[in-house]
Amino acid sequence: MPVKQTFFINRPSFQTLETSPRGMLIMVSSICFLKSMIRPLVLSNASLLVVSVRMPGPSLSSLQSSCLSFFSPSMFMRHTLHDYNPTRGGQGARLLPDPKTTSKLLPMPPCPVRLLSRGAEGDIYLTEWGSRAAVLKIRRARGYRNADLDARLRKRRTVREAEIIRQARSAGVPVPVVFFVDTVECSITMQHVRGRPVSSFSGAALVRLAEQIGRMAGTLHKNGIMHGDLTTSNFIRSGGTLYAIDFGLSARTDKPEDHAVDLRLFKEILNSAHVREMEKAWKGFLSGYGSAVGAARLGRITSLVAEIEARGRYATVV
C-alpha cells in the first residue's frame, strides 16, 4: 500500500495555479508560509517530483522564485490534498502527516564546498546534502550570449539532464541519485560516487569494464537515450558497481546515427587514451553492446560508425 499524507491548506495563503501528472505549481503569500511548505509535494500518480514555488512582491529578492526537486523512487510519498477550513481554528497553513507516515524535510539547496573541476557544461563542486556527500553541478551564465536566451538555455539543459538521469536509472543503468535541481541557479545536486574512473584502468581490467560500458550504452540506446559524451572518464567503478556519470550532453533520441555517434566517440577515446587495449576493449564493448540491443541493431549501428569515420572531417580509427 502506498504511504499517504494529508495536507491541510489555508486557501488565502496557498493557491494551486496548475497541476499535472508530474507535479504542481503553487503561489504562496509569505516567506514564513514558504518555509512551512518546504516538504516533498507529490501528486498521487507522480513518478517525478516537481514543485514550483512562486512568491509575489519583494520576497523574490530574498528567496529563490522557483525550485524543481527530483528524488529517487525510494523517497517518493503519495499524498492526498484537502482544503483546510480556517473557521475550525488555527492560523495559516499546516502540514499534518498521517501517524503512519514518516516525513522528511526538504533541505534548502547546498552551498559549494570545494571545486572539483571546470567543464564546458558547468563547474563541479564537492558539497553535502544533509549528511551525505554530494556533487553540485552549476551551469554558469555565459556573458557572450543574450541574457534571456542564456537563462532559457541553461534552465532547459539543466532540467533535461536531470530528467535523463532519472530515466537512465529507471532503465536499470547505475547513475548518481539526483537530490535537488535548482532552475533559478541552473544547478543539480546529486550523489557523490566515490571510486575510480575507468580511464585509470588498463590491461584485462579495462577490457572487462569496456564490455560493461558497452552493455550500459546499449541499454541507454534501447531506451532512447544518447549519452553524448561516452568516454572512459565518464564511468566510475565504485565497489562492485560501474556508474555512468555526466549526462550534460545527453539527449532523448532513437535515431541510429545519433547512437552511432556515441560509439564512434568511445572508439576514438580507446584509440587515443588506451592504445594498447584498443582492439580487445573495442571488441569487448561491441560484445556488451550487442547483448543489450541484439545482433541486428548492432550490425546497423556499427555500419553507421564506419560511415561516420569515412566522412572527410573525421580521421579514420584503425
Per-residue confidence (pLDDT) for residue 313, from 0 to 100: 57
Range with the lowest mean pLDDT among 102-116, 177-191, 278-292?
102-116
What CA–CA distance (Å, rounded) separates 121 from 132?
24
Neighbours of 46 (CB within 10 A): 20
Grid cell of 261 as nine digits: 555517434
Tell me if 227 sits within 8 A of 247, measured CB to CB: yes
Residue with grid cell 508560509, as numbered in its chain: 33
What is the chain's alpha carbon radius of gyration, rounded to the nearest angstrom?
23
Residue 124 in 3-state DSSP?
A: strand
pTM over 0.75? The answer is no
The most confident of the ranges 29-33, 108-112, 197-201 is 197-201
Residue with grid cell 544533509, as numbered in its chain: 130
Range with the lowest mean pLDDT among 108-117, 177-186, 263-272?
108-117
What CA–CA distance (Å, rounded) separates 285 from 214?
4
Q: pLDDT tier at 317 (50, 70, 90 boundaries)?
A: low
Please confirm, yes or no, whether 254 is among the known catalytic residues: no
Q: Which of 83, 123, 148, 229 is catalytic?
A: 229
CATH of domain 114-191: 3.30.200.20
Q: What percent of the chain has pLDDT over 70?
A: 63
Give the DSSP H/E element, type plus range, for residue 284: helix 278-293
Q: Which pLDDT tens digit goes with each residue over 208-237?
A: 999 999 999 999 999 999 999 999 999 999
| Burial of residue 91 (number of CB atoms within 10 Å: 0-12, 13-18, 19+) | exposed
Per-residue confidence (pLDDT) for residue 110, from 0 to 100: 55
Neighbours of 194 (CB within 10 A): 9
Q: Of 264, 218, 267, which Cα lies nearest the Cα of 244?
A: 218
Per-residue confidence (pLDDT) for residue 143, from 0 to 100: 86
Q: pLDDT tier at 291 (50, 70, 90 boundaries)?
A: very high
Per-residue confidence (pLDDT) for residue 251, from 0 to 100: 96
User: Under CATH, which architecture does the 196-310 domain have?
Assistant: Orthogonal Bundle (1.10)
Give the residue extent of every domain in the chain: 6-96, 114-191, 196-310
What CA–CA distance (Å, rounded) separates 195 from 139?
24
